[in-house]
Amino acid sequence: MTNELIFPSTFLWGAATAAYQIEGGATEGGRTPSIWDTFSHTPGLTKQGHTGDVACDHYHRFRDDIKLMAEMGLKSYRFSLSWTRIQPGGVGPVNPEGVDFYQRLVDDLLEHDIEPWVTLYHWDLPQPLQDAGGWPLRDTAERFADYAVLAHHALGDRVRYWTTLNEPWCSAFLGYGSGAHAPGLSDPEAAVQAGHHLMLGHGLAVRAIKEARPDHDLGITLNLYAVSPQRDTAADADAARRIDGLANRFFLDPILLGEYPPDVVEDLSQVTDFKHVRDGDMEIISTPLSVLGINYYSRHVVAAPIEGVEPEPYWRAPSNWPGSEHVRFVTRGVPVTDMNWEIDAPGLVEVLERVHREYPKLPLYITENGAAFVDEVVDGEVDDIDRVAYFDAHLRACHTAISSGVPLRGYFAWSLMDNFEWAWGYTKRFGMIHIDYDSQLRTPKSSARWYADVIRRNGLAAQ
C-alpha cells in the first residue's frame, strides 16, 4: 500500500516496564526494602493501600511474560533493575541470587531474539540510603555509581544498552518537592539538591561504565513536555518559560550542555543558593552520551495567576515547581486519559524537533509513551480502542519527526502490562497486556495485537 508510513529498517520496536511495578517477590531472593516499599506500606500514601509486594509476580513468571513479548514480535524490552535485589541495602557486594534472576531474564530474552535494554534506576532507592539523607545528600551519587559498576559487571557481557536514570524530574520533584512519590518529603531546596545529585550520579556511572565497555550505548531517560502559554501575553509566556525551565531545561542543559540555564537559577534563587554544586560537577554530569531516552505523555498548558483567585488543585501539586508555585496549569477541554492527562500527539513532534535543534545531535529513543484507560474484560477480551488510537497518533508523530530529520531510532510502548502505578496503586491500567491481580492471568488486549501488526509491517497503515 503506497500510503503506508514505513519506519527505517533498523527502527527498534519495544515495550517497557519497571522493577517495583511488576516484579513482586519483594522479600525473596535477598531483596531488601526500597523507598517504595516503605512509602506503599505507609497508610494513606497509595490508593486503597496498594503495595508492590506481589504486583504482576514477574519475578516468578518472567519466562511466560517473555513468551508473550515474543508473540508480539518485540525487538527490544526495556526493564529496570531493582537496586536492592542487586545490592541489598545499597552498599557492599552484589547479591548472587539477585544477579542470577537478572541473568536468567536476560538470557531468556536473548534466546527469543529480544534485545535487553537495562535501566539502572527507576525510583527505588534503597531505604538505608534514604535514611542517611537520600538524593539530597551528595554521597548518594557515589553510592549509585558503585551500584552501577556492580550491575554492569554482572550483565555487561550480554547487555549493550544502558540507561542510568528514569525520569529524574519525578525522583527529585515528586519525591522531595511535593511528596507525591517516595520518599514522600516536601522540601523545595532538597528537591533541587536531589535533582543535581541524581545527575551527578548519572555522570559518575556513565564514566565508570564507559571505561569498562566504551562500545556500549549509554544514556539517560528524561520525561519531557511541550509547554505552551494559555494566552499570547507576556505574563503567560513567562509562566511557560518557568515551567519549561524546571520540567525540561533543568536536566537537558546540564546533561547535554554542561550548565544550568541562568534563568532557571534565577527562578530558584529564593529556594537555593546552588552551593551544593561543586567545581567539576558539571563536567561529570555532561559526560558525553551515545543515546538519549525521551518519555512523552502530554503537554503542559500554563498561565500566570489571576489576582485574588487561588489555583485549582491539580495532580501537579504547586510544590512540584519550586520558585514557580504561582503558575497555573490549565486544561483545554481536549480528550484526556484516565490519568486526566491531555492527549497531545503534536507535542511529541515539538519535543523531538526541539531536542534535535537545540542540543548536541544524539540518537534519540522514545523510551516511554502510553496511556491509562479504563479497560474492561468482556468474554475474555479487552478491546482497548482508545489506547490503540493513542499509540497510532503518537507513532504518526514519531514518523513526522523522522521525516523532518530527527534521528529517532526506536520506540518503547508503556507499558508491556498493567502494573502497580505508583501512588495510584492498581487503579490505573497502562498495559497492552491485562493483568488479573487476583489470578495473575495475562490477557493480551487489542492494543497488543495492533502493536504486533505495526512491528510486523514496520509501520502504520494508511489513514
- pLDDT digit string (tens) for 388-443? 999 999 999 999 999 999 999 999 999 999 999 999 999 999 999 999 999 999 99
Banded model confidence at residue 462, pLDDT cuts 50, 70, 90: confident
Average pLDDT over residues 137-146: 98
71 belongs to the catalytic site: no
Predicted confidence at residue 398, as pLDDT, reads: 98
Banded model confidence at residue 2, pLDDT cuts 50, 70, 90: low
Asked whether the predicted pLDDT for residue 376 surpasses 80, the reply is yes
Cβ atoms of residues 219 and 293 within 8 Å: yes
Report CA-CA distances (Å) from 7 to 10, 387, 399, 461: 8, 21, 7, 12
Q: Which of 367, 248, 368, 352 is nearest to 302 (CA)?
A: 248
Q: Residues 23, 167, 342, 350: which is the catalytic one? A: 167
Residue pLDDT, tens place only, 346-368: 999 999 999 999 999 999 999 99
Predicted confidence at residue 150, as pLDDT, reads: 98
**Length of the chain measured in residues:** 463
167 belongs to the catalytic site: yes
Banded model confidence at residue 306, pLDDT cuts 50, 70, 90: confident
Average pLDDT, the chain: 96
Q: Residues 23, 342, 350, 368: which is the catalytic one? A: 368
Predicted confidence at residue 24, as pLDDT, reads: 98
Asked whether the predicted pLDDT for residue 185 surpasses 50, the reply is yes
Average pLDDT over residues 272-280: 98
Predicted confidence at residue 453, as pLDDT, reads: 98
Banded model confidence at residue 33, pLDDT cuts 50, 70, 90: very high
Residue pLDDT, tens place only, 7-17: 999 999 999 99
**Single-letter code of the amino acid located at 312:** E
Asked whether the predicted pLDDT for residue 73 surpasses 50, the reply is yes
Banded model confidence at residue 315, pLDDT cuts 50, 70, 90: very low
**Single-letter code of the amino acid located at 148:** A
Residue 356 phi/psi, 5-degree rounding, is -65, -35
Q: Whole-angstrom Cα distance, residue 376 to residue 391?
A: 19
Asked whether the predicted pLDDT for residue 1 surpasses 50, the reply is no
Tell me the three cell numbers of residue 283.
Answer: 563536567
Q: Which of 87, 94, 105 is nearest to 22 (CA)?
A: 105
Range in 51-60, 271-280, 324-333, 422-431 the model is least confident about: 324-333
Instruction: Give the whole-number percent of the chain exceeding pLDDT 70.
Output: 97
Asked whether the predicted pLDDT for residue 457 surpasses 90, the reply is yes
Predicted confidence at residue 307, as pLDDT, reads: 78
Q: State pTM to two decimals.
A: 0.97
Asked whether the predicted pLDDT for residue 312 surpasses 70, the reply is no
